[in-house]
Every structure is written in structure tokens, then in C-alpha cells.
Chain A
Amino acid sequence: MQGQLALLQRELWEHRSIYIVPIVVAVVMTLAALTGQVSINGMEHVDIGIVGASNMPDNARAAVLSGIMIGLSTTFVFSMWILTIFYALDSLYAERKDRSILFWRSMPSTDLETVLSKLLTAMLVIPLVTFAMILVTHLAVLLFASVWVAARGGSGLTLIWGSVPFFDNWTATLIFVLALPLWLSPFIGWFLFVSAFTKRSPFLTAFLPIAILPMLENMLFDTAVFAEAFFVRSIKMPLFINPGTMERLFEEGDGFALLADAQLSLLGLMDLGGFLTNPGLWLGLIVCGLFTAAAIYMRRYRDDS
């Protein structure tokens, strides 16, 4: 256990982007929100001041605030996934490139423990760090909004802090950032495997097959099994009650209607039980497990000399 913690600690030392990227996103998003540059759907460029307008109906204000929070979270989720791709591709490649793998393997940690620490970092540490920075950003932006309201004689406490279902929003966000890597785990497993075996350019090695396989399949068999699989995996995470929920949330106007229908409850839009019992999720996790096992095998048996 202590050994696993040390291995996770090592990942944070070696890949400082795990926390630097979310911090940079947090700073940028906070500044963007302060200058009214956060664009949320249904309203181009929302000036934070709008939400403080006392003539705004409470539910509309709450919808706008929820929308801002969702918009901020979404940016973090995108950056998180890009970070995860780069992290996973580098995690077993960098130590081979700089030959420090000889040092790591002279320590009493098994290849299984080491590769698992990298999988855990991608699946758990990166999402949790991202989630923490989402919370900080939400708080910073809402704090600014309430100061703005208070400066104009309104009550930030009721107008801002009182109108948002924080617990619901944050719980849903946490579920989302943890569910995403689970759903995309076959990609993460594939990236770890590529990182463990490739001699050069892990990025190209990982993405060429993803680009070429569907094309080849289409040319040879005129079918689209791979294309479909990759596409469904990338776009349609079955975490929501209705399959189209994710798209609708980000459609102009529609997003607010959806939020209003659900009485601002994001949790109400989610179907966690359905997600956890989705065969596609488990199939993906099995694929991830196979790739991870292959990565462990490579680290153990590969001999680079």
C-alpha cells in the first residue's frame, strides 16, 4: 500500500502537467468569467452582472448560474481528456527513453504495481485533481458574482449562493469526471500499451490505427464496425437517461429548457445504475484490462539492450 502510494507520488512528480494543466485552465476560466467572456449556450457571452439583475426570475437566474457552472466544468473535462491521452502515452515511454527504467526496476516494486499506478493515475488521480480545480473555479466565479451583486446593493447570499443546487451540481460533476475515463478506458488501456511497446513516437503509433482501421474496413468490407465503435465510444457515454441529453445540454436555448425541466437537477438527468450495468461499459473495461495486461507483459519481458 505504501509502495503504491509512493508510485502514485512519483507520477505526480514526473508528470507535473497533471496539476499544472487544471490550474492553468482554472486561472484562464476565472479570468474569462470575470471579463464576461464565458460563453454559455442560449446566451452569447454572459456578463456575470446579468445574473445579479434583481428583475430576473429566480429560476431563470438559477438556470443561468447552473449553465455557467456546467460550461466551466465542460472546459475542464475537455482539457482533462487531452491531458489523459498525453499522460498515458508518455507514462511507460519516458522512462524507457531516458533509461531510468533501469533505476525503477532496481527498486522493489513489481511491474504489475508500477503499471497499475499509471492506470490509477489516468483513471482516478487526474479526474480527482481536475474535479478539485473545477470546485475552486466555481467558487471563485460565484464569489466574484456575489461581490458584484453586493456592490450594487443586492444580496449575493440569496441571489447567487441561494439559487444554485451546489450539492447536486458537484455530485453530478464528480460522477461525470469519474465515469468518463471508465467509459473511455479501452482507449486508456490502448495508450498505456502503446507507451509500453513503441520504440518511437507514441502519439502517431497510437492514433494511426485509430484513423486507419475504420478506413481500411470501409474500403475492404464496406462496413463500419470500427468507425461505429470508436464513434460511439467517443461521443455517446450512456450516463444520461436519454441518449441525446449531452448534445441537448449544449444546444442553443434547448439546454436551459432541459435544465428547467429537470428543475436544475443534473443528477436527475443521469442514470448511474443504467451506466454501471451497461454491457458496453464492461466490455470496454475488459478491453482496457487486456491492454493493461499486455503493457505489464511488455514492461516485464521487453529487453531494450
Chain B
Amino acid sequence: MTSLVSARNVSKNYGDLRAVDDVSFDIEKGCITGLIGPNGAGKTTLLKALLGLTDCQGSLLVLGLDPFRQRKELMQNICFIADVAILPRWIRVYQLLDFVEAVHSHFSREKAEALLANTKIPAKAKVRELSKGMVTQLHLSIITAIDAKLLILDEPTLGLDIIFRKDFYSNLLSDYFDEERTIIITTHQVEEIENLLTNIMFINNGRIVLDASMDALPEQYVELLASGENAERARKLNPIFERDVFGKKVLTFEGISREQLTGLGELRTPDIADLFVAKIKGVTA
């Protein structure tokens, strides 16, 4: 079976800046992949390439299509939410539904209206009259009503309060996601999506530094809480990152079995945020 997204040696330069540097990866159907990276790591550029908004070198296939050259066909099956500013502010809710209905063959107006009925968004309101949270709700309702195969979310909950953020992700899972659909998501609020993800990719300086399924993480990565002599001994096993917590050392290991560390201290699987810091800072340090 072929992958939903298949990237081989994809690069993108802006002048001298190499925003995406020779990356290769696959994304399978039914996965929720978190694309995590520091600011300027190349996340947005990579998403733009996937969406056909920018050209790139290398071979990139999304749903078997060349995103840049077959953008119209691709957009029948891809949806995209960037941080909420992108819905036109002058448009009215019903106009938005009219437009999407006319151009999108996979859009169900009934479904969108049913979803909107559960919100406080009036059909005649202009986008500029809605709160930031409502705009995101509106956008998500429309996208949920499009029977698309791939959804790309770029910082979708930026600037929203905690209630809206929680609702956004629970609606995403309950209304949008099923095994036929695939999601790629970038965010800085990693903790909030950690439990959602099936796969994770870290990107730094345009390169992919981690590409793994969430299930595989405990086998590959382990964190050791140790102090004193134990910490010294553990350090000889080449941790990828080390930090201090309440006077103790936390050492992150990659590819070291838990047996090797037994007896040196408390072992646990690092959470995504810690692993992210370890991978990014560890590599650059």
C-alpha cells in the first residue's frame, strides 16, 4: 500500500537560507502526526510544500499528486487551517458556506449547519464580528463537513483560551477523525496534543531529527532520574541530554535498553516536550 504522503529528498531554499533540507518521510492513512519544531525550523515551509502553496526540490507526493502542479485536484481532498487569521474578515457565515458549497464537491452543507447549530455563531454574522475562538470553531465546522482525506493544521489554536483549545481538539477527534482520515498538526503547545498523536516528527534547521510512532517511543527513549555517583555512571552511557530537576539529574537516553540503567535511579519515558528539548538542544549543544 502506498503512503498518503511520501517525501523523498525534499528541499526548499529561500535565497541562501535552506528552510527544508533534504527530508524524506512517509505518512500513512489514519495517522495523526505531530510536526514539532522550534520557530524557524522549517515546519511552515514543509506544510506549504505539502499544500502546494510553494514549489520545492525533490519528490513530494500527497495523495499520489504533485501538490504544486495539481493543487486544484489536491484541494478537493485536503483541508487546511492555519492560525485563525486566515478566514476573510468581511465574509458572512452563510456566504462562506455558499462559497465552499459551490467550489468543493465533497462539502456537506447540512453537516456544516448542524455543527454550527451547536455553537453560538449566527449565520448572518461577519467573520470580523466573531471572537477568535468562534472563528476557529467556524473554520473547523466547515472543514469537518468536507469529506477530505487529509487535514493539515498549522498552529490551529494559537491565541485561544484553554476552553476553546480543549473543545477544538475534542471536536476534532469526535466529529472529524476516523480511520479514513489523516491529520498533520503543528503546534507549540505540545502537551495538549500529546495524547492525540499516533506519530511524531521533530524538525530542526530544516532537517527531521525524529520520526517515530508514539508506541515506539518507550523502546527508543528513556529518562533517568539520578543523583551523585549514579549520575556519573549513567553519564558514561552517552545521554543525549541532561538537565537538573530539584537537585537531581535527569538524563535522556536514546537507543539504550532499560536493563542497562536499572539500579541507577528512577526510569520513565520522557514526555514529548522534554524529548523535544533533549533532541533539539542536545543536537545543537
Contact = CB atoms under 8 A, between A and B. Distances in A.
B75 A6 contact: no
B98 to A, nearest CB: 7
B86 A305 contact: no
A3 B99 CA distance: 9
B185 interface: no
Contacts of A104: 88
Nearest to B81: A106
Nearest to A7: B103
Interface in A1-42: 2-3, 5-7, 9-10, 13-14
Of B78, B79, B103, which is in contact with the most chain A CB atoms at under 10 Å from its CB? B103
Nearest to A303: B54
Given A9-B99, A108-B72, A110-B72, A99 B86 contact: yes
Interface string B71-105: 11101101110100111111110010011101111
Nearest to B89: A98
Nearest to A112: B72
Interface residues of A, number: 25
Nearest to B45: A305
B48 interface: yes
B89 A303 contact: no
Contacts of B76: 108
A105 B86 CA distance: 10
Interface string A141-157: 00000000000000000
Interface string A76-115: 0000000000000000000100111011111111100000
Interface string B40-52: 0000110010010
A103 B103 CA distance: 13
B72 A100 contact: no
A109 B48 contact: no
B86 A13 contact: no
B91 to A, nearest CB: 6
Contacts of B273: none
B80 A14 contact: no
A108 B91 contact: no
Q: Is the interface of A mostly helix, strand, loop or mixed?
A: helix
B22 interface: no
A301 interface: yes
A16 to B, nearest CB: 9
Please indicate which of the listed interface residues A3, A102, A108 has the most CB atoms of chain B within 10 Å of its own CB.
A108
A303 B72 contact: no
Interface in B155-179: none
B53 A303 contact: yes
Contacts of A100: 86-89
Contact of A6 (B14, B87, B98): B98
B86 A6 contact: no
Nearest to B55: A301
Interface in B220-253: none
Given A105-B53, A305-B48, A14 B100 contact: no
A108 B53 contact: no
B191 to A, nearest CB: 26
A107 B103 contact: yes
A6 B103 contact: yes
Interface of A: 2-3, 5-7, 9-10, 13-14, 95, 98-100, 102-110, 301, 303, 305
Given A102-B82, A108-B72, A303-B54, 19 more contacts: A3-B102, A5-B102, A6-B103, A7-B103, A9-B102, A13-B91, A14-B91, A98-B88, A99-B86, A103-B87, A105-B71, A106-B51, A106-B79, A107-B75, A107-B99, A107-B100, A109-B75, A109-B103, A110-B71
10 contacts: A6-B102, A13-B92, A14-B88, A98-B85, A98-B88, A98-B89, A100-B88, A102-B53, A102-B80, A102-B86
- Which 10 pairs of residues, A with B, have the shortest CB-CB distance? A6-B102, A100-B88, A108-B75, A106-B80, A102-B86, A103-B86, A110-B72, A3-B103, A303-B54, A108-B76
Interface of B: 14, 44-45, 48, 51, 53-55, 71-73, 75-76, 78-80, 82, 85-92, 95, 98-100, 102-105
